[in-house]
A and B are shown apart, each in its own frame.
Chain A
């Protein structure tokens, strides 16, 4: 069975600074997808970024980028120029039809 681990229960970043959230996963598959989802206090899950495992190039979406290391089974999320609206729970997820989620990292942004 696949497992996803987020080793940082909480992280804090100063507004306009950069922060990196860690995620590791375990799988015997070679073809899969990885996601980062954001869950603000409203409880609504919002897609942040998506990575296809067969692509070596790291995905980027505006201020959000990933460092995907397939051999190490690592998938970290970097948030640049942090904004107050980035404060939320962030979940890393592995996709082989259904999503397997990590336990989440609570990100706090200090003004």
Chain B
């Protein structure tokens, strides 16, 4: 079946603009995660969704970052008033459930803030 998809693959935006990144998880996966990967670094957790439970937002770096998920499907990550330090690759992953299940990653969105 299809893997996790993300769009756009690349996004260049001006400082101060809002951006929206999209993730389509694998069908049937109840858990969805967002991570950020700065150049040459490991991945940082941002937020996860599990079914209809309240999302865990503990990794969001500021209130400029927010995310939504429609049921158990598409998720969007929104960054408001972008700053240069937001430049990174944003990776989405999904898994069958929380807790120890393999996370399948999308190809990421490379965000560049000029």
Interface size, A (range): 20 to 34
A-B contact count (CB 8 A): 52
Q: Which of A14-22, A66-74, A101-109 is found at the contact surface with chain B?
A: A101-109
Question: Is chain B's interface secondary structure helix, strand, loop, or mixed overall?
Answer: strand
Within the complex, the shortest CB–CB distance from A103 to chain B, in Å, comes to 5
Q: Which of B42, B43, B44, B99 contacts A95 (CB 8 A)?
A: B99
* Chain B CB within 8 A of A33 CB: yes
Interface size of B by CB at 8 A reads: 22
A91 to B99, Cβ gap below 8 A? no
Q: Which of B89, B103, B108 contacts A99 (CB 8 A)?
A: B103
Question: B59 within 8 Å of A by Cβ?
Answer: yes
Q: How far is the CB of A58 from chain B (nearest CB, A)?
A: 17
- Residue of B33, B41, B108 near A98 (CB, 8 A) is B33
Give the CA-CA distance A33 to B102 in the complex, in Å: 10
Produce 1/0 per residue, A32-66, CB < 8 A to B: 11010000001111010010100000000000000
| Closest-CB distance, B35 to chain A (whole angstroms) | 8
Q: Give residues in B with beta carbon < 8 Å to A.
A: 33, 35, 41-45, 48, 50, 56, 59, 89, 91, 93, 98-100, 102-103, 105, 107-108
